[in-house]
Amino acid sequence: MARRNAGVIFLFGVLTWILLFPTMATSQSTPPCASSTNCTYNTNTNITSSASADATANANAGTGSSGGDSSGFTLSTPVFREYSLGEMEHATGNWAEGRRIGSGSFGDVYRGFNPYNPDETWAVKRSRIITQDFQREVKEMASKHHPALVRLLGYCIDFNQATQNMEQILVYEFVDNGDLEKWLSQDTARPLTGKERVQLMIGVAEGLQYLHSFGIVHRDIKPANILLDSKMNAKVADFGLVRLGAGTSTAVASTRVMGTPGYVDPAYYKSQKATPAADVHSFGVVMLTVLTARRAIHGVGDKQVNIKDWVAPLVDASNAAAFKDPLLDAPDDLVLRLAHLAIDCTRVPVAKRPSMARVLAELMDLREHFFGPETDKVVAGIDKEIDDSNSLGSLTMELKKAEQLGAGSGSGGL
């Protein structure tokens, strides 16, 4: 009898918990941003740019089935969604000058903090140039996930009827080790090692190959758009996207030429038609800046010279010492082979340039030859980051090489 009563009491307790739980959940405090008139919580989690089904599913999973219950919404894991202007102002301290971490003709980038998880840091890009392509570019970026690409977490579009002012804002993951341009300057605590330089070239090549596999061209590859994380892994940032036509070799005329003098492909600048070869050219110039620690256009004596025109004859003469960064701890043989590959990337006509896949394969071969096989790749969770099986090709190739050679572990950060 006592056992039977205990069972009834247990069942009654379970039913009571089930009935009370919804009330307890809805009584939780609203996010810090929701109570402020200056920071209206945006419960619209529909991705109006029609981003990928995966991104939509993630957003819905984050908000719960009701879509408007902010108590169930957490941004501790990457979830793509639309934000209100108020949320952006709250995240950046109302665009505080002390939060600004970058500026250019495109706009300003601010360090922001997730209003619903202040431990999560954002990079918030506030555009100066308003474009009709914004929604399409957001859609493309949100659906592309790769460890070598800076991840897009959200966006904001706001139009003020009174002032006729349009805001277009992007929210990215914050990459905490600065950009490659900074690391190639004299402002860093230490120079990049030879292995780090080769590894970051590989990272950028992997990111570009991934974009090209979808017929997407970055158009503005330069050191300032290559960010380094805490382990010195490279991430490609700020890809203003152009999608090609059928196949990856069909050029599409863009509404405006993107790019930076010294890095932009002259053939693309002339034709205003973007192809993957334009990115290959810019990548080749970046490789030369990594080897020399000089800008794409820099002073030699009393005149300004293009880095390719300066390096090419020195490479032909096998004179690596005349152009390589004095702080670069790499053998001349490696420097010359990398420089040859970089110059190949800038060949004219463009048909003579290698594909990014070919460039990546050669870089990986050089890394293995000079530094040994790379076996310390972190593979856990990579399949969740990459949504196309073709992009796993380079990683699979490395793992197969490691298995065949029975190699030990490499250097931890790389």
Active site residues: 220
102: helix, strand or coil? strand
Please give the Cα distance from 343 to 262 (Å, whole number): 14
Instruction: Enter the tokens of residue 192.
Output: 């990049």
Contact between 122 and 153 (Cβ < 8 Å): yes
**Phi then psi dihedrals of residue 144, to 5 deg:** -110, 110
| Interstrand relation of 152-160 and 81-82 (parallel, antiparallel or unpaired) | parallel
Residue showing tokens 């810019």: 282
Can you tell me the distance from the alpha carbon of 67 to that of 43, in angstroms, rounded to the nearest whole number? 7
- C-beta separation of 261 from 306 below 8 A: no
243 exposed, middle or buried (CB, 10 Å; 0-12, 13-18, 19+)?
middle
Cβ-count burial 266-289 (b if 16+ within 10 Å, e if not): ebbeeeebbbbbbbbbbbbbbbbb
User: Tokens representing 350?
Assistant: 């463009």
Number of H helices, E strands in the chain: 13, 14
What are the strands, taking DSSP E only, across 142-229? 152-160, 165-173, 216-217, 226-228
How are beta strands 226-228 and 273-274 bridged, if at all? unpaired
Distance CA 264, CA 360 (A): 20
CA proximity to 234, closest of 182, 262, 196:
196
Token pair, residue 111, equals 């360090």
